[in-house]
Structure 1
Amino acid sequence: MSMNKLDFVTEALEKLKDAGLLINIRTIEGPQGSWITVDGKKVFNLCSNNYLGFANNPQLKSAAQKAIEEYGVGPAAVRTIAGTTALHKELERKLALFKGAESAITFQSGFCANLAVIPAIVGEGDVVLSDELNHASIIDGCRLSRAKIIRYEHCNPADLQAKISDEKGACRMLIITDGVFSMEGDIAPLPEIVEIAEKFGAITMVDDAHGEGVLGRGGRGIVDHFNLHGKVDVEVGTLSKAFGVVGGYVAGSKRLTDYLAQRGRPFLFSSAVPAAGVAACIAGVDILTASDSLVKRLWDNTAFFQEKMKAAGFHLGNTKTPITPVFIGEVKIAQDFSQRLFEEGIFAQAIGYPTVPIGRARIRVMLSATHNRDDLTWATERFEKTGELLGIR
Structure 2
Amino acid sequence: MSQLPWHSQLQQTLTERKAAGLYRRTRLRDGEQGVEVVLDGRKMLSFSSNDYLGFAAHPALKKAFIESLDQEGVGSGAAHLLTGHSRYHHQLEEALAEFTGQQRVLLFSTGYMANIGVIDGLLGKTDVVVQDKLNHASLLDGGRLSEAQQLRYPHAAMALLHQRLHTAANSRNKLIVSDGVFSMDGDIAPLPEIMDLAEQHKAGVLIDDAHGLGVLGQNGGGVIEHFGLTQQKPILVGTFGKAFGTAGAFVAADEVVIETLVQQARSFIYTTAQPPAIAAATLASLKLVQQETWRRDKLQQLIKQFRDGADQLGLPLMPSQTAIQPLLIGDDKKAFKLGQDLEQHGILVGIIRPPTVPKNTARLRITLSAAHDAEHIDKLLGALEASYGH
The TM-score, its normalising length taken from structure 2, stands at 0.97
2:28 is aligned with what amino acid?
Answer: T
- 1:22 aligned residue: 23
Q: CA deviation at 1:101?
A: 1.3
Alignment-derived partner of residue 382 in structure 1: 383
Residue 13 of structure 1 and its aligned partner are, at CA, apart by 0.7
Residues 348-386 of structure 1, C-alpha deviation per residue, up to 9 Å, x if partnerless? 121000001111101100000000001210110001100
Paired residue secondary structure (1:138): helix
- What's the secondary structure of 2:135's corresponding residue? coil
1:256 corresponds to: 257
The aligned amino acid for 1:197 is A
Residues in 1 aligned to 2:351 and 2:326: alpha-carbon distance in whole angstroms:
10
Structure 1 match to 2:143: 142
Residues 174 and 203 of structure 2 are in contact (CA less than 8 Å); yes or no, is this contact kept in structure 1? yes
Q: Give the distance between the partners of 1:9 and 1:72, measured in 2 at CA.
A: 42
Amino acid at match of 1:245: T
Once the two structures are TM-superposed, the CA of residue 388 in structure 1 deviates from its matched residue by: 3.8
Question: Is contact 2:122–2:260 with CA below 8 Å preserved after alignment?
Answer: no
User: Could you list the per-position Cα deviations for residues 37-75 of structure 1 after superposition, in whole angstroms to 9, with x for gaps in the alignment?
Assistant: 011111101010000111000000110011111101101
| 1:229 aligned partner | 230
In structure 1, the residue matched to 2:201 is 200
SS at match of 1:376: helix
What residue number does 1:179 align with?
Answer: 180
Could you tell me how far apart the structure 2 residues matched to 1:140 and 1:117 are? 11
Q: SS of the counterpart of 1:56?
A: coil
Once residues 206 and 341 of structure 1 are traced to their aligned partners in structure 2, the CA distance between those partners, rounded to angstroms, is 34
Asked whether the 8 Å contact 1:123–1:146 carries over to 2, the reply is yes
Q: Calculate the aligned-residue CA RMSD, in Å.
A: 1.3
* 8 Å CA contact retained: 2:108, 2:250: yes
Instruction: Measure, in 1, the Cα distance between the counterparts of 2:235 and 2:83.
Output: 27
For 1:115 and 1:317, the matched residues in 2 are separated by 29
Matched, 1:328 2:329: yes
Q: How far is the alpha carbon of 1:229 from its aligned partner? A: 2.8
**Structure 1 runs not aligned, ≥5 long:** none
Structure 2 CA distance for aligned equivalents of residues 52 and 64 of structure 1:
18
Using the alignment, how far apart are the partners of 2:12 and 2:385 within structure 1? 38
C-alpha contact (below 8 Å) 2:303/2:321 kept by paired residues:
no
| Structure 1 contact 329–362 (Cα < 8 Å) conserved | yes
**Residues 197-251 of structure 1, C-alpha deviations (whole Å, 9 max, x = no match):** 0011001111001001111122111111111234233101111000111101001
Shift of the alpha carbon at 1:133? Answer: 0.4
Aligned match of 1:50: 51
Which position in structure 1 is the counterpart of 2:340?
Answer: 339
* CA contact 2:56–2:245 (8 Å) conserved in 1: yes
CA offset at residue 291 of structure 1?
2.9
Counterparts of 1:12 and 1:278, CA distance in 2: 41
Q: How far is 1:23 from its partner? A: 1.1
d(CA) in 1 for partners of 2:334, 2:296: 34
**1:214 alignment counterpart:** 215
Give distance in 2, aligned partners of 1:349 and 1:249.
26
8 Å Cα contact 2:220/2:290 also seen in 1: no
Instruction: Determine the structure 1 residue equivalent to 2:358.
Output: 357
- Determine the C-alpha separation between the residues in 2 that align with 1:54 and 1:117: 27
Residue-by-residue CA offset, 1:253-272 (whole Å, 9 max, x unaligned): 12211221111111110100
Q: CA deviation at 1:340?
A: 1.0
Q: Does 1:83 align with 2:75?
A: no
Matches within 5 A, 1:151-190: 151-190=152-191
The match for 2:288 is 287
Alignment of 1:60-71 (within 5 A): 60-71=61-72
Alpha-carbon separation, structure 2, partners of 1:182 and 1:284: 22
Moved more, 291-300 or 203-212: 291-300
- Range with bigger deviation, 285-294 or 123-132: 285-294
Equivalences for residues 79-158 of structure 1 within 5 A: 79-158=80-159
Number of aligned positions between the proteins:
388
Deviation at residue 274 of structure 1 after TM alignment: 0.2
**Structure 2 SS opposite 1:349:** strand
Counterpart of 1:73 in structure 2 is 74
Alignment partner of 1:348: what SS?
Answer: strand
* Cα shift at 1:175: 0.4
Q: Given that residues 233 and 253 in structure 1 are in contact (C-alpha distance below 8 angstroms), is that contact kept between their aligned partners in structure 2?
A: no
Percent identical among aligned pairs is 37
Describe the superposition over 1:126-149 as per-residue Cα deviations: whole angstroms up to 9, x where unpaired. 111100100000000001111111
**Equivalent position SS for 1:219:** coil
Mapped contact 1:218–1:295 kept (Cα < 8 A) = no
Residue 33 (structure 2) aligns with? 32
Aligned residue type for 2:262: A
The 1-side partners of 2:217 and 2:103 are apart by 18
Q: Deviations over 1:143-186 (max 9, x none)?
A: 11111111011111111001211211101000001000000011
Q: What's the offset of the Cα at 1:320?
A: 2.3
Whole-Å separation in 2 of the counterparts to 1:304 and 1:5:
52
TM-score, normalisation: structure 1: 0.97
Residues 28 and 36, structure 1, Cα contact 8 Å, conserved in 2: yes
Deviation for aligned residue 1:317:
1.4
Query: How far does residue 3 in structure 1 lie from its aligned partner after superposition?
Result: 9.0
| 2:288 match: secondary structure | helix
Report the 3-state secondary structure (helix = DSSP H, G, I; strand = E; otherwise coil) of the residue aligned with 1:143. helix
Give the aligned residue type for 1:29.
D
Q: CA deviation at 1:311?
A: 1.3
Aligned residue identity for 1:236: V
C-alpha distance in 1 between matches for 2:192 and 2:352:
30
The one-letter amino acid of 2:84's match is G
Unmatched 5+ residue regions in structure 2? none
The residue aligned with 1:240 is 241
How far did residue 290 of structure 1 move? 2.2
Distance verdict in 2 for CA 1:315–1:380, change over 3 Å: same
